[in-house]
């Protein structure tokens, strides 16, 4: 038997639904809701406060307070009891409100005669929308059931807000998801894009928050949960290799899907008149609100899991699949919480830009976005909650800024920026076939980094002299199984064909650390994966895959020259051993009668400081050395390249790091070993110039950087730059950047 409060609550929701169904203006609907709620809760006052902007709440409708205060009374987030409810996303229930900490009396509302106060947040999926308040004269403390009932009303309000029920003539609210919003994120890949939102996982829209047949809704929920449980069990039971992390996530899903308290709370919401979908979303909303205040990483991840699970449940209930059938708009810009490299590759070059809420600069998705030369902004918090399919969106990958539904003046300024970039591109195009020869007559060889077939067309367009780093692991990362030798040989062959005789340096598989293959058994005992069993260490301990890859490379050359290098060499013996594997494979292929490469060069990547101090024999044995500056810098400064908190702390132009580069150049010069630099910093013009001033003559970078780097190099005198760097070093500067910038300005 439903208890009295449940029936009352259902009656109230029924009346709310009628009020909302009437063809009245937004303000009239809000007014009606306050009157109905006050009546049903037997309070003198019911008020709705909504956000005007992210920091300000406004009294938008009231029953019981002075009507002339509506749209006049405002408070800041955190101010007074209403502001506190909004800030903490928690109810405040007080029999004697004026005695409460932080109480602020609003004389214009006439609220001084009311003693009790109950305020609950109006929020949708963790997004704050406002506060719903009831007040009464008698010093009454509201029961748990009453708090709950008010929360249910707030939930319906939030849903109806989403559906635009309160927009219109004299309305309290401007339409949601129609205003311009700016997001400040982090640069993932430079470049600009002007296009339209395409959501990777479109949001489920609940159109029926109130239902009048709780029994049927409860049955729908139970059936949906059964289906969900079944699908999780199926995924877990499937006899396929699931890595440890995926298994853990699925186990957590199963735990939630079987959670009695989760189910009970949703059943209670349904009994009070919510539809099954709205009940799921209410739970999801409060989990998201909790997420904001949970410091514990493990708990946050579990709450994220619950969020994902709720989305799945909503999809089952509403029938809105991952594919909601939304057509890809013109000039699509992909918006997602996060995305894997495989999914991103599938979208491919159709996309003009990508904006993620999560992600990291070194993530595979970022690598793919770079390979596809698509501007990428990461850490654009809450963009998936704000963006709607088809919205106009501007992505400024240079600044890490995104403008959603931009105002005309922003869009115009952006257009100017794109035009300026286009003219810069024209400038770069005009020097595409010119060498990067400095004013002092030194020519710097500019190569490009690649990892996908999709990169190769850039070889022509960018003016790169070849591929200085071909990251072979991307082919392994985007597949669900180890690629076969034949597949790899064909692919490497196509890369060499596309290079049309220009050099290509293949780097053997660099996995481990952040690059975890979906089918590789994860290492349970690796507290520090970046310092762990990765790259050449895996190759030497388990040489099967490395040997297969070497065979594929040899066959791909079919008589053409082969350049290969081993990643992450930390000591001479590792290089000697890996090189021996390559020589053995050459011999094996010869015996098998395959055509051997016309020339073989075997190099090492210098990515750990230790290798800079290796014995002379190492430098003699290596045919060439390529400085992997991304890793070298992280180990040099002991600062994780993936950790946003420390990543930028140490400047590449720090005198110690530049001296390290100079030292490596010197070691290579002693033995005449060719040396290049292929980390991300090579693509930054100022850094590239300083590296050249330290003696580097080959730099490998993403294709889009070649133009800007060449443009600067052709206008500078490296002797001048070196003198400025030396002077900064002797005066004890931490970084040479200020001095170098000043010098460049003086040179125009």
Which residues contact ligand PEP (rule: CB under 6 A)? 469, 471, 510, 607, 628-631, 678-679
Could you say which of ligand PEP, Mg ion, none residue 269 binds, taking C-beta under 5 to 8 angstroms by partner kind? none
Residue with Cβ nearer ligand PEP (115 or 630): 630
Q: How far is the CB of 128 from Mg ion (least distance, A)?
A: 42
By CB under 5 A, is residue 466 in contact with Mg ion? no
Given the complex with Mg ion, which of 269 and 607 has the nearer CB atom? 607
C-beta closer to Mg ion: residue 146 or 631: 631
- CA 51, distance to chain mean position in Å, is 27
Q: Which is nearer to ligand PEP, 432 or 663 (CB)?
A: 663
Between 91 and 451, whose beta carbon lies closer to ligand PEP?
451
Q: How many residues can be counted in the chain? A: 748
Least CB distance to Mg ion at residue 628 (A): 4
Which of the listed partners (Mg ion, ligand PEP, none) does 471 bind, with a CB threshold of 5 to 8 Å by partner kind?
Answer: ligand PEP
Q: What are phi and psi of 380, to 5 degrees?
A: -85, 90
For helices 485-499 and 543-557, give the axis angle rounded to 10 degrees: 40
Residue 446 token pair: 């500019």
Helix (H) or strand (E) holding 45: strand 45-53
**CB closer to ligand PEP, 425 vs 571:** 571
By rule CB under 5 A, what string of x and - marks binding of each residue 577-616 to Mg ion? ------------------------------x---------
- Smallest distance, Mg ion to C-beta of residue 510, A: 6
Q: How far is the CB of 607 from Mg ion (least distance, A)?
A: 5
Stretch in the footprint of Mg ion (CB under 5 A) among 74-82, 335-343, 610-618, 622-630:
622-630
Shortest CB 664 distance to Mg ion, Å: 15
Q: Does 628 bind Mg ion (CB under 5 A)?
A: yes
Half-sphere exposure of 364 (CA within 13 A, CB side): 26
Tell me whether residue 121 or residue 679 sits nearer to ligand PEP (CB atom). Answer: 679
Question: Between residues 473 and 585, which has the closer beta carbon with respect to Mg ion?
Answer: 473
Q: In the complex, what is the shortest distance from the CB of residue 561 to ligand PEP, in angstroms, rounded to a whole number? A: 22
Residues 469 and 507: beta-carbon distance below 8 Å: yes
- Residue 182 or 454 with smaller CB distance to ligand PEP: 454
User: Contact between 468 and Mg ion (CB under 5 A)?
Assistant: no
To Mg ion, the closest distance from the beta carbon of 26 in angstroms equals 56
Residue ranges in 478-542 assigned as alpha helix (H)? 485-499, 536-541
DSSP state of 480: S
Contact predicate 132/170, CB 8 Å: no
Which is nearest to 249 in space by CA: 197, 303, 190, 313? 303
User: C-beta of 217: minimal distance to ligand PEP in Å?
Assistant: 52
* Nearer to Mg ion (CB atom), residue 465 or residue 607: 607
d(C-alpha 286, C-alpha 1), whole Å: 27
Shortest spacing between CB 624 and ligand PEP, in angstroms:
14
679 binds, among Mg ion, ligand PEP, none (CB under 5 to 8 A by kind): ligand PEP
Instruction: From 93, 172, 168, select the one nearest 129 (Cα to Cα).
Output: 172
The option from Mg ion, ligand PEP, none interacting with 629 (CB < 5 to 8 A, set by class) reads: ligand PEP
506 neighbors 472 (Cβ within 8 angstroms): yes
Q: Which is nearer to Mg ion, 347 or 476 (CB)?
A: 476
CB 97 within 8 A of CB 4: no
User: Would you say 341 and 364 are in contact if contact means Cβ atoms under 8 Å apart?
Assistant: yes
User: Residue 63 binds which one of Mg ion, ligand PEP, none, with CB within 5 to 8 A depending on kind?
Assistant: none
| C-beta separation of 280 from 307 below 8 A | no
Classify residue 108 by its DSSP letter: G
- C-alpha 564/C-alpha 197 separation (Å) is 41
| Binds Mg ion by CB under 5 A, chosen from 217, 307, 585, 631 | 631
Closest CA to 398 of 705, 187, 701, 647: 187
Q: Taking the mean position of all CA atoms in its chain, how far away is CA 188?
A: 9
Q: How far is the CB of 629 from ligand PEP (least distance, A)?
A: 5
Least distance in Å: CB of 507 to Mg ion? 9
How many other CB atoms are found less than 10 A from the CB of residue 644? Answer: 12
The span from the CA of 4 to the CA of 54, in Å, is 38
Separation CA 249–CA 189 (nearest Å): 30
Q: Which does 6 bind (CB under 5 to 8 A by kind): ligand PEP, Mg ion, none?
A: none
- Residue 307 CA, chain-centre distance (Å), reads 17
Q: Which residues bind Mg ion (CB under 5 A)?
A: 607, 628, 631
């Amino acid at each position: 038997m439903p208890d009295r409060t449940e029936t009352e609550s259902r009656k109230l929701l029924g009346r709310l639904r009628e009020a909302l169904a009437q063809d009245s203006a937004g303000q009239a609907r809000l007014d009606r809701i306050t009157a109905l709620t006050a009546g049903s809760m037997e309070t003198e006052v019911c008020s709705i406060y909504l956000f005007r902007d992210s920091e300000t709440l406004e009294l938008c409708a009231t029953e019981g307070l002075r009507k002339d205060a509506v749209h006049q009374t405002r408070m800041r987030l955190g101010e007074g009891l209403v502001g506190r409810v909004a800030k903490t996303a928690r109810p405040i229930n007080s029999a004697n409100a004026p005695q409460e900490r932080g109480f602020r009396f609003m004389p214009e509302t006439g609220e001084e005669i009311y003693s009790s106060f109950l305020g609950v947040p109006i929020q949708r999926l963790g997004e704050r929308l406002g506060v719903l308040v009831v007040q009464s004269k008698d010093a009454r403390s509201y029961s748990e059931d009453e708090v709950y009932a008010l929360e249910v009303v707030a939930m319906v309000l939030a849903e109806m807000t989403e559906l635009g029920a309160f927009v219109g003539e004299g309305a309290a609210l401007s339409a949601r998801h129609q205003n311009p919003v700016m997001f400040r994120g982090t640069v993932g890949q430079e470049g600009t894009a002007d296009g339209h939102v395409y959501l990777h996982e479109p949001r489920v829209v609940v159109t029926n928050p109130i239902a009048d047949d709780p029994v049927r809704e409860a049955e729908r929920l139970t059936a949906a949960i059964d289906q969900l449980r079944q699908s999780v069990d199926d995924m877990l039971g499937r006899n396929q290799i699931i890595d440890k992390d995926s298994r853990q996530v699925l186990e957590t899903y199963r735990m939630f899907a079987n959670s009695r308290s989760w189910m009970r709370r949703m059943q209670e919401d349904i009994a009070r008149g919510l539809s099954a979908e709205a009940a799921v979303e209410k739970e999801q909303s409060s989990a998201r609100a909790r997420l904001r205040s949970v410091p514990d990483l493990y708990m946050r991840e579990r709450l994220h899991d619950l969020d994902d699970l709720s989305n799945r449940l909503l999809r089952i209930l509403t029938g809105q699949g991952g594919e909601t059938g939304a057509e890809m708009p013109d000039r699509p810009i992909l918006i997602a919480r996060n995305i894997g490299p495989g999914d991103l590759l599938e979208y491919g070059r159709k996309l003009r830009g990508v904006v993620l809420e999560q992600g990291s600069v070194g993530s595979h998705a970022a690598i793919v976005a770079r390979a596809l030369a698509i501007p990428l902004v990461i850490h654009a918090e809450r963009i998936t909650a704000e963006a709607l399919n088809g919205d106009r969106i501007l992505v400024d990958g240079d600044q890490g800024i995104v403008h959603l539904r931009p105002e005309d003046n922003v869009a115009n300024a952006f257009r100017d920026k794109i035009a300026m970039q286009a003219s810069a591109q024209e400038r770069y195009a005009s020097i595409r076939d010119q060498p990067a020869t400095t004013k002092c007559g030194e020519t710097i060889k500019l190569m490009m980094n690649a990892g996908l077939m999709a990169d190769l067309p850039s070889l022509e367009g960018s003016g790169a002299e070849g591929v200085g780093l071909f990251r072979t692991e991307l082919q392994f990362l985007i597949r669900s199984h180890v690629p076969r030798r034949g597949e790899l040989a064909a692919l490497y062959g196509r890369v060499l064909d596309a290079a049309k005789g220009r050099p290509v340096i293949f780097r053997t598989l660099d996995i481990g650390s952040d690059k975890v293959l979906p089918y590789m058994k994860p290492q349970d005992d690796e507290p520090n994966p970046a310092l762990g069993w990765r790259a050449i260490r895996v190759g030497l301990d388990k040489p099967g895959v490395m040997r297969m890859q070497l065979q594929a490379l040899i066959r791909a050359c079919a008589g053409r020259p082969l350049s290969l290098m081993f990643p992450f060499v930390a000591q001479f013996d590792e290089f000697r051993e890996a090189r021996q594997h390559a020589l053995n494979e050459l011999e094996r292929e010869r015996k098998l009668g395959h055509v051997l490469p016309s020339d073989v060069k075997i190099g090492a990547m210098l990515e750990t400081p230790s290798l800079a101090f290796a014995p002379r024999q190492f430098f003699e044995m290596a045919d060439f050395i390529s400085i992997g500056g991304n890793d070298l810098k992280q180990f040099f400064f002991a600062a994780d390249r993936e950790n946003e908190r420390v990543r930028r702390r140490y400047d590449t132009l720090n005198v110690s790091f530049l001296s390290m580069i100079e030292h490596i150049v010197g070691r290579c010069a002693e033995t005449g070993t060719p040396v290049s630099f292929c980390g991300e910093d090579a693509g930054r013009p100022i850094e590239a110039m300083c590296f050249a001033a330290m003696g580097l003559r080959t730099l490998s970078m993403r294709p889009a950087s070649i133009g800007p780097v060449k443009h600067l190099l052709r206008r500078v005198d490296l002797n001048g730059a070196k003198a400025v760097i030396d002077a900064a070093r002797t005066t004890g500067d931490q970084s040479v950047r200020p001095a170098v910038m000043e010098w460049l300005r003086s040179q125009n």
